[in-house]
Structure 1
Amino acid sequence: MANSDSSPSLPQANPLSSKKENITPIGSKISELNESRAELLNRIQGLKQDLQSWRSKLDTQVKVYRDELSELKKSLNVEVEQLRSEFQDLRTTLQQQQDDVTSSLKNLGCKMSQLIQKMPRLKTLREMTKTQEPLSSSNKMMLLLA
């Protein structure tokens, strides 16, 4: 049996050397994956910062627009109130003018009525002037007022 120990045998593969060969590619893959992971984390962090910055800018812009809209609304409300007041003044003025015109028309109607009542006297006055000497203006007034 001692001979069997010294007999030439097939070369045995060294288990440690094959593990080292296998470990080296795995180690480099792990380091590549770690680098890739670090790059992705950095990109994600950058994207998060960009998103936060974008949100902040958007919030600021929304606030500015809201403030502008609020100011425009106030300004429009003031203008609407001014227009209402002006229209009310115009309505009052027009009503007063309408009342004045109505009153003037009534007065004119009364004067025309008086004039119509005096028409027979005017006819008489005309007939008298045709047949007689011309009347003085004071006599004409006397006839008209009678």
Structure 2
Amino acid sequence: MADSDSSSLPPPTPLAVAPPPLSSTTKENLTPVACKIEELNESRSELLGRIQGLKKDLQTWRSKLDSQVKVYRDELSELKQSLNTEVEQLRSEFQELRTTLQQQQDDVTASLRSIGLQDVSEGSKVEGNDHKESNVSTTENDVKEA
């Protein structure tokens, strides 16, 4: 029985099969592929060129931005220095004004004492009547407020 089974089987096929010869339809199919590859290469070159242009534009933009930032920083530095100078000048002027006002207040108090009136803020009574006391108090308050 084994002999009859083996005779009915087809002969074994070889493992390595040779490729079929190129037909004219295969050559026609390769031509559009070659065109597509050429188009892709052209597109790739164009894109690379555009990328290089964009990189150059970006470098130019960064350079301009950096120089603009430097200009603004310099201007801000100058403004800060100017502002600090003006603030110091105002402080000095206010201190001079305080000193002048204090001196004027001391002078007014001294002249009031020299004409026989005493400083009301010390709590003492003014010589003479109450009317003079209220005038002196008003005068001293006016000087203090100034």
Specify the alignment match of 2:23 in structure 1: 23
Specify the alignment match of 1:80 in structure 2: 80
Give a deviation string over 1:27-63, Cα, whole Å, max 9, x none. 1111211110010010011001101101110110111
- Percent identity over paired residues: 12
RMSD: 2.2
Counterpart of 1:104 in structure 2: which amino acid? Q
Distance 2:91 2:24 in 1: 98
Matches within 5 A, 1:1-146: 19=21, 23-117=23-117
* Structure with greater helix percent: 1
Distance 1:117 1:92 in 2: 34
User: What TM-score, normalized to structure 1?
Assistant: 0.64
Distance 2:25 2:61 in 1: 53
Alignment: residue pair count: 103
Give the Å deviation of 1:116: 2.9
Structure 1 gaps of 5+ residues are 1-17, 124-146
Give the Å deviation of 1:115: 2.1
Which structure would you say has the larger RCO, counting Cα contacts within 8 Å and 6 or more residues apart?
Answer: 1
Distance 1:72 1:64 in 2: 12
SS across alignment from 1:96: helix
Specify the alignment match of 2:121 in structure 1: none
Give the Å deviation of 1:80: 0.6
Find the structure with the greater CA-based Rg.
1
User: What TM-score, normalized to structure 2?
Assistant: 0.64
Distance 2:23 2:40 in 1: 25
